[in-house]
Amino acid sequence: MSQNNNTPLHIVMYPWLAMGHITSFLRIGNELAERGHKISFFLPPKTQLRFTSQNRYPELITFIPIALPSVAGLPVEAETTNDISAETRPHLMTAMDLTKDTIEAHLVDLKPDFVFFDFTCWMPESARKHGIKPIYYLTTLLVGAAYTLHLSAVSPTGRPVDESLLMSPLPSFPSPFVTLQAHEARSLAGAFQFDFGGGLTFLERVVKSLIECDAFCSKTCREMERVYCEFIEKHYGKPALTAGPVLPDPSSAKLGDRFDKWLAGFGSGQVVYCAFGSECTVDLLSFQELVLGLELTDRPFLASLKAPIGYETIESALPEGFLERTKERGIVYGGWVQQQLILKHPSVGCFVTHCGAGSLSEAMVNKCQLVMIPHAVDQFINARMMSLELKVGVEVERRDEDGFFGREDVQKAVDSVMEENSEVGKEVRANHAKWREFILKDGLEESYIISFIDSLYDLLR
């Protein structure tokens, strides 16, 4: 076990098997390895191959294969959420739970200082048995963890979450901005009560992980989320470590010819880019109103979206006549795109996003303005913080009871951030520029990572 700051740390990582979570864990792993620390990273065999290119320090970051046990309802070849439907995710979580003995045997053999985890709520007990410190590593903004912890404290244990409670500021919660519309409250309450494997609801699993860890960490800056750091530390008696922005590595790749040539055909800041991440799928009506809203802006647009629920292809779901009307200035694409490179392209001026933490992180360091359409769980909370607290973007207006948004709502939001004389646009552009400059400030990331490592050493003393 490491005891002083001259001895390299050894950290085990076992994230929830979703691509965004794995990517986030590996990014902090690369930062730690860059400074000489050793990482043992548990991943299923085929998934390891997908991430080999993102392992910048293979001499220090070792991928350890973990075979997922067979679980009824889980496809035999499935290893991550990318391989399954949303309804099947509890089976994947159950499979991860069934690796407990295997993971514990590895912990005994590896003798690490720390284990970073998230939804495997049995990890703290397994780690402590062997003198290992369990750290809950958050892949979202810290506000979401603070909100979840506090909701569990003010909501009666064992009962369904009261939706009306979510539609007002939680009692004694440090921010008045985190309130939900009726459809969001219904969605969040349902997600929290969702059976997430092992007979535990999602809320029970997350809260158990948060309460039983020795500390938890988020890839955020105290300057942005200080109030939530202090709230957690004061009310829940454990350190809230901040690792800084943990920015994506600058890509050495070039944007593919198709999109590079297409984007180059438009002026600076003219293109609207829309993407909802690798897992978000919307219904047909929302899909069509979204693309029709992009059309209404009269701006060039590139949308990277999954086919809507019940449809095999993007083309089969597009509104009648849409392709013909927009063929000179619009692309709706159903495959994977190089988002990091698209966002930094000088032609891109607006990013319509679902408010996933990874997408927000990439957006904040680029000049494109933010339009937000959150869809699930922490995305609602992220959107309130970004739009109402930091004021770096706007949300698309939605109907309270069912979350419906129309094409005009999309157009209005995009226009509000892109029109030069828009008062809203002036405010969000100024705030976004301020935070972008702060995040990219020389030495900031290095300072945060060093401080984070020092905090880990302090936990061992």
- Residue in this structure with the two tokens 């043992």, named with its chain if needed: 40
How many CB atoms sit inside 10 A of residue 439's CB?
18
The partner residues of 371 in beta bridges, in order of sequence, read 352, 394
Strands 369-372, 271-275: pairing kind: unpaired
Read off the DSSP letter of residue 180. Answer: -
Residue 298's Cβ-count burial label (10 Å; 0-12, 13-18, 19+) is exposed
The Cα-based distances of 414 to 15, 293, 371, 374 in angstroms read: 35, 9, 6, 15
CB 164 within 8 A of CB 185: yes
Q: Is the dihedral of CA 48, 50, 52, 56 positive or negative?
A: negative
Which residues are tagged catalytic? Answer: 21, 118
Q: Are 166 and 180 in contact (CB under 8 A)?
A: yes
Q: How crowded is residue 461: how many other Cβ atoms within 10 Å of its Cβ?
A: 6
Q: Which residues, other chains included, contact 281 with Cβ-Cβ below 8 Å and sequence gap of 6+?
A: 86, 306, 307, 308, 309
114 and 133 Cβ atoms separated by less than 8 Å: yes
Contact 213, 134 (CB under 8 A): yes
Q: Quote the CA–CA distance of 201 and 206 in Å, as a whole number.
A: 9
Note the residue count of the chain: 461
Tokens standing for residue 189: 């309450």
Rounded to whole angstroms, the Cα distance separating 380 from 385 reads 9
